[in-house]
Amino acid sequence: MEAFCPPLVRAPGYKGGMEHATSRASQVASLPEPLQRLWMERLLRLAERVGASGEVPVAAVVLDGQGRAVGWGVNRREREQDPLGHAELVALARAARLLGDWRFNRCTLLVTLEPCPMCAGALVQARLGRVIHGASDPKRGALGGCLDLASHSSAHHHMEVVAGVCADQAQRQLEAWFRRRRRERRQA
Ligand SMILES: [Zn+2]
């Protein structure tokens, strides 16, 4: 796991700040589009390495209110035979340990693929300020793809959702990975 996780860094040029936060909904600092893409491109590079190890190529990172990475995560379901081993949950758990807090109102989570129902539910429970994802997943995505847990009546917390950052790149990466896996299985 650690082998895949880059050291914690602050994105260059981050201008976000919490000084102007006035309500619960605005507790999360802004993250300009170029920075969203910059983080997503890093995640896609990380996901590529994870894909080469046999996991579905998905990577996630949690940024704190200052724009610092406080938890990275990659899929590790196959490697650890862990049904909870989705990138988002791994990143959340690591961030919670580092911050000593399970509430993420001021944090942003970026992930290369739209979260599944398990992860989307966890993100609402963790009170994420914002979730940004790359590829949409019309079959299993739970932030607007096949259902929308962020705006479900059970969601007691407002979570900003940004979809489609580097979406084409993320989609191509996943499709190539599944194509490769089908080919390998046919040859096995
Ligand atoms: Zn998931």
Q: List all residues 6 or more positions away from 72 whose beta carbon is below 8 Å from its beta carbon.
A: 4, 5, 6, 8, 46, 59, 60, 61, 90, 91, 94
Helices 33-52 & 167-187 angle (0-180, nearest 10): 10
Catalytic, out of 88, 114, 160, 184? 88
Q: How many whole angstroms from 34 Cα to the centroid of ligand 1? A: 26
Q: Which amino acid is at 132?
A: I
pLDDT of residue 173: 98
Q: Is 112:43 a contact under the CB 8 Å cutoff?
A: yes
Checking if the pLDDT of 112 tops 90, the result is yes
Q: How many whole angstroms from 117 Cα to the centroid of ligand 1? A: 7
Checking if the pLDDT of 87 tops 50, the result is yes
The full DSSP string for 13-78 is: T----STT--SGGG-SPP--HHHHHHHHHHHHHHHHHHHHTTS---EEEEE-TTSBEEEEEE--HH
Q: b vs e for 104-113, b when ≥16 Cβ sit within 10 Å of the residue's Cβ? A: bbbbbbbbbb
Tell me the percentage of the chain whose pLDDT exceeds 70. 86
First to last CA, the chain: 27
Q: What is the DSSP letter of 115?
A: P
Look at residues 74, 58, 62 and name the one whose alpha carbon lies nearest to residue 114.
58
Of residues 13 and 132, more confidently modeled: 132
48 part of the active site: no
Q: How many whole angstroms from 115 Cα to the centroid of ligand 1? A: 5
Q: How far is CA 95 from CA 25, 47, 71, 125, 177, in A?
A: 21, 19, 4, 14, 28
Q: How many whole angstroms from 84 Cα to the centroid of ligand 1? A: 8
Summarised one tens digit per residue, pLDDT across range 19-74 is 333 334 457 889 999 999 999 999 999 999 999 999 999 999 999 999 999 999 99
Query: Which tokens hold the place of 112?
Result: 């290369």
Q: Is 97:67 a contact under the CB 8 Å cutoff?
A: no
Map residue 181 onto helix, strand or coil. Answer: helix
Of residues 4 and 78, more confidently modeled: 78
Cα separation, 17 vs 153, whole angstroms: 31
pLDDT of residue 5: 57
Pairing type for strands 59-63 and 108-113 reads antiparallel
